[in-house]
Structure 1
Amino acid sequence: MSDYRARFNAEVAFINGGDLRVSDFRLDLPSATVTEAELAELFVRHLGLALVESVDITGFSIIEERHKGSRGTDAVASTTAHVVDLSHTVSAGLVTYPGLPAPVITPHLTREDSRAKYAPGTEFALDVITMIGNTGTYIDSPFHRYEGGTDLSGLELETLVGLRAEVFHLDDVAWGTDAATRGIPASVFFDRDLADSAVLLHTGWDVHFGQPAYAKGSPFLTESGVRHLVDAGVTLVGIDSLNIDDTESGGTRPAHSLLLDAGIHVVEHLTNLGAVPARGARFTAVPPKVADFGTFPVRAFAELPGR
């Protein structure tokens, strides 16, 4: 289903004096049709303006464009929901992060060999997979970064299942080649209440997954962005690029260090975030319950309300 946004200029006058002017503003719409009066109300609600005397809308047009998360403009949801898979498929030879070993899958018991062990017509396959925890779409626990930190077996299910998803669609950003133009700043998050949520960063970098281009020049979360999310009290942060940190600026890892120290889960190498709305979905990413282990692949998915 297509999303629609309004593009317009606006001048707001306040009853206690002063005014506000914006040009070429874009705002999510609940449907493909809206009047100027309805748009004015949506605009005021989105900005949280008070004591408004009048709103003058000019240059108004409706465009087909993905919602970005404007406040107070959500369409009414139906009771029908569906699930979006956000995980890469793990297979033998998969390269997730260059330099790390790829998974090796070997049979322990083949179907052919099992036929001699079971009744006629009954057969099984038992396979062995050897892989590093940082394979495919995976979660980092505090144990990954800190000795004595909570390992996979200690993660509370309440912090992994059905989290309110706040998706930031940044796939239309022209990512540069240096750190200054690849980092996601704190200002991106200023317009939302993120407490107890799963913040999911849709950079669009997942289109390169499994290719050499995935390893170079990927978007990341800046330290200022990390500190804002920690202060906001988020539960989990996920990204669809090579790493939540900048791997090309030395060995510092502020995102991993600060988030995991605060007990905030990190999920890397997500995919298909473009199919998840900015607001309204629920996010789940659960690893196996493994002791003394810091990272492991997850089946990450989003539950979307129907429309």
Structure 2
Amino acid sequence: MRILDISMPITENMNVYKDNAAKRPVITLASDFSTGSTHETKIEMNVHTGTHIDMPLHILENGKTIENMDLEKVLTKCKVFDFTRVEEKISVEHLSGKSISEGDFILLKTKNSLVQNPGKNFIYLDKSGAKYLADKKVCGVGIDSLGIERNQPGHETHKILLSSEIVILEGLFLKNIGEDEYFLIALPINVAGADGAPARAVLLA
């Protein structure tokens, strides 16, 4: 068995959503051996930093929060689909040619994983693709960008998926992952009441 880490490292200079500097984590030294008997680090960051899970409350008023998540949905078999040739967005026409069944967790590999920083023009999942996956009754969707959508004013992709209780896993790093079936582990930090949480995501192959 191989363990394939598909998580983004958390650093002060890491990629953040649309290069918004205010979203970069702040990591400071709380104490070291010159000031005490322990070494401790303090981190301040948005719960949607790096590899993370979106919960319904992120977009839907009165939506569920992270402590209410069904963890079986992120301890599951998954399918990685290679869309690295797709430009701009993944739509229903791209997904309809793939083998997708009810209960699948789908990971979308795009050219986001092949560049150092996709910036504001990252590849995303549009509302037609989200509706297709919702109609297929998948349990989750992951993507290698820090947002599953962009430039959709009504947040349609998020709303379609989250209202169907489909897990959204963002900020994956899939450069070295081939199109195949794997076992996904992506457990979020249990921050009670939060609209999302960082996760350490790995694939077992």
Give TM-score scaled by structure 2 length: 0.90
Q: Aligned residue for 1:52?
A: none
Matched-pair identity in %: 27
CA contact (8 A) 2:12 2:25 kept: yes
Q: How does 1:1-307 map to 2 (within 5 A)?
A: 81-97=1-17, 98-99=19-20, 100-115=22-37, 124-161=38-75, 163-173=76-86, 175=87, 182-190=88-96, 191-209=98-116, 211=117, 214-245=118-149, 247-248=150-151, 250-279=152-181, 281-304=182-205
Q: Is the 8 A contact 1:84 1:276 kept in 2?
A: no
Listed one character per residue, the Cα deviations across residues 223-264 of structure 1 (whole Å, up to 9, x for unaligned) are: 12111111111111011124211x23x522111111111111
Bigger radius of gyration = 1
CA gap of 1:104–1:217, structure 2 versus 1, over 3 A, is closer
- Indicate conservation of the 8 Å contact 1:96/1:134, yes or no: no
Contact 1:215 1:242 in 2 (8 A): no
CA contact (8 A) 2:190 2:197 kept: no
Q: Secondary structure of 2:35's partner?
A: helix
Partners of 1:107 and 1:196 in 2: CA distance? 43
Q: Secondary structure at the match of 1:90?
A: coil
Contiguous gaps of at least 5 residues in structure 2: none
Q: Which has the higher contact order (CA 8 A, sep 6+)?
A: 2
Query: Cα deviation per residue 1:12-34 (whole Å; 9 max; x = unaligned)?
Result: xxxxxxxxxxxxxxxxxxxxxxx
Name the CA distance, whole Å, in 2 between partners of 1:232 and 1:200: 15
CA apart distance, 1:146: 1.7
- Counterparts of 1:301 and 1:276, CA distance in 2: 14
Deviation at 1:171, TM superposition (A): 1.1
Question: Compared with structure 1, are the counterparts of its residues 276 and 283 closer, same or farther at alpha carbon in structure 2 (3 Å cutoff)?
Answer: farther
Contact 2:82/2:178 (<8 A) preserved: no
Q: CA shift at 1:273, angstroms?
A: 4.9
Question: Is the 8 Å Cα contact of residues 143 and 292 (structure 1) preserved in structure 2?
Answer: no
Q: Could you tell me how far apart the structure 2 residues matched to 1:301 and 1:292 are? A: 25
- Alignment length, in residue pairs? 202
Distance 1:112 1:88, change over 3 A: same
TM-score between the two structures when normalised by the length of structure 1? 0.62
Q: State the secondary structure of the residue aligned to 1:300.
A: strand
**Cα-to-partner distance string for 1:256-297 (whole Å, 9 max, x where unaligned):** 111111111111121125424422x11121111111111222
